[in-house]
């Protein structure tokens, strides 16, 4: 089936073709005709990275009235990074149509946003900043026709339910509501029931904890040899993210990689929003091949071409592990996730893997640990076993009577 057979306009078909896509994904086949039909609100469940933005974006672009300079579509996303990505994706799909698309989120000057909202027809934003504009009177929704919640489960996980409901109350009664989610917890279903009329549920695929397309392995090595092994990994066909636990480590590692000739950049929470946007844009365009990041990049960063994710530091828990390695293996592509573990961390990492429901094999890059490290690990394991059996106190010994 082609995009044209779904009922899309020539402008949309041409825009998708220029991006190199000629066959719709499963979620696009299901959702696009429903939106164009114009009868139902939609609750859509599909795995992360399956083309949900185009699934709702293409028909909305076809149905927005270009001559009407008022907000006709509002799309909420859980993070700034995702708001930027969705708005850029929609701009790339509009083709030559004169439709103004603008993203609003925190950490950005509000003045330019206020000016842009006077002419925007499609607004993409985070709940907090959208609600701020509504209360200021700078975002008027009386002409709103489409209201989309993208990654609804993550928005509710992040505590945005009250903001979302306040935004719902500020929208006109007559509108199309669409809610897309990788998982479908009860909170999402209750929200849909409360604010949707005559809704149709489309379940294409459920999000796995970890995408099946991701090959996973761990490298056990001593700290002093970790950087040398990382260089071997990056010297191959690498386009991906190296996750560190601290902001300081991201800066130091990126600087070291740049000195060794790698096209590396930093992304962490200390950076201003404009700097983060500039860094992300360089990475998305392929000008940077290695992004050294904290977990600020583990949510909402969607670049389907990413080949590798490296956990330079062991994740704190299963959730962090899942979000990190979920950056690769998207849109049906294969990906690889490599986790560095130091002596004594193997048991902890196996516990994380069990909680994540994954099987992680030992990498061929792992090295034989020096004897002093093996002895240290053995002492640690014996101490843990002792504490597990006896707690902090030694077992009481009975005195022998003579």
Rounded Cα distance between 57 and 63, Å, is: 10
Q: What CA–CA distance (Å, rounded) separates 323 from 327?
A: 7
Q: Which fold has domain 214-385?
A: Rossmann fold (3.40.50)
pLDDT at 211 over 90: no
162-208 pLDDT, tens per residue? Answer: 999 999 999 999 999 999 987 777 888 888 888 888 888 888 765 55
CATH number of the 4-203 domain = 3.40.50.300
Q: Where do the structural domains in the chain lie, given as residue ranges? A: 4-203, 214-385
Q: Which residues lie closer than 8 Å to 334 by C-beta, 6 or more apart? A: 213, 214, 215
Report the mean per-residue pLDDT for the chain. 86
Using alpha carbons, list the distances in angstroms from residue 248 to 255, 278, 324, 368: 11, 20, 19, 29
DSSP per position, 157-195: HTT-HHHHHHHHHTS-SS-EEEEEESS--HHHHHHHHHH
Tell me the whole-structure pTM to 2 decimals: 0.67
In the prediction, which pLDDT does 127 show?
94
Q: How far apart are CA 323 and CA 146, in angstroms?
A: 29
Task: Give me the pLDDT at residue 262, please.
Answer: 95
Q: What confidence score (pLDDT) does residue 62 get?
A: 95
- How do residues 324-356 score in pLDDT, each as one tens digit? 888 888 766 789 999 999 887 888 898 888 888
Question: Tell me: the pLDDT tens digits for 282-310?
Answer: 998 899 999 999 887 666 677 878 999 99
């Amino acid at each position: 089936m082609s995009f044209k057979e779904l009922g899309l306009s020539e402008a949309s078909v041409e825009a998708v073709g220029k991006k190199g896509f000629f066959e719709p994904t499963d979620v696009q086949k299901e959702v696009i005709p429903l939106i164009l039909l114009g009868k139902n609100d939609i609750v859509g469940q599909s795995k992360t990275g399956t083309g949900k933005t185009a699934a709702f974006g293409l028909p909305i672009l076809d149905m927005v009235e270009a001559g009407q300079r008022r907000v006709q579509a509002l799309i909420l996303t859980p993070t700034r990074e995702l708001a930027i990505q969705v708005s850029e994706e929609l701009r790339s799909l509009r083709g030559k149509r004169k439709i103004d698309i603008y993203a609003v989120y925190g950490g950005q000057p509000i003045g330019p946003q206020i000016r842009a909202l006077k002419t925007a027809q499609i607004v993409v934003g985070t709940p907090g900043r959208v609600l701020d504009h509504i209360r200021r009177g700078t975002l008027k929704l009386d002409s709103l026709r489409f209201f989309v919640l993208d990654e609804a489960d993550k928005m509710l996980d992040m505590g945005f339910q009250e903001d979302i409901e306040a935004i719902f109350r500020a929208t006109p009664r007559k509108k199309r509501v669409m809610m897309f989610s990788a998982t479908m917890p009860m909170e999402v279903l209750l929200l849909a029931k409360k604010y949707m009329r005559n809704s149709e549920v489309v379940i294409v695929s459920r999000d796995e904890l970890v995408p099946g397309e991701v090959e996973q392995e761990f490298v056990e090595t001593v700290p002093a040899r970790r950087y040398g092994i990382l260089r071997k990994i990056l010297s191959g066909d690498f386009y991906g993210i190296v996750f560190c636990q601290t902001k300081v480590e991201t800066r130091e590692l990126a600087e070291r990689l740049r000195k060794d000739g790698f096209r590396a950049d930093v992304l962490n929470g200390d950076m201003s929003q404009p700097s983060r946007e500039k860094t992300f844009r360089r990475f998305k365009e392929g000008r940077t091949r290695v992004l050294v990041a904290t977990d600020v990049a583990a949510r909402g960063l969607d670049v389907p071409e990413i080949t590798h994710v490296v956990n330079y530091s062991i994740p704190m828990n299963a959730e962090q592990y899942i979000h990190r390695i979920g950056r690769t293996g998207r849109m049906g592509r294969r990906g690889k996730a490599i986790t560095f573990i130091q002596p004594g961390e193997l048991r902890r990492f196996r516990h994380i893997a069990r909680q994540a429901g994954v099987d992680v094999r030992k990498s061929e890059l792992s090295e034989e640990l020096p004897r002093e490290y093996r002895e240290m690990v053995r002492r640690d394991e014996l101490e843990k076993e002792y504490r597990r059996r006896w707690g902090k106190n030694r077992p009481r010994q009975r005195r022998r009577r003579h």
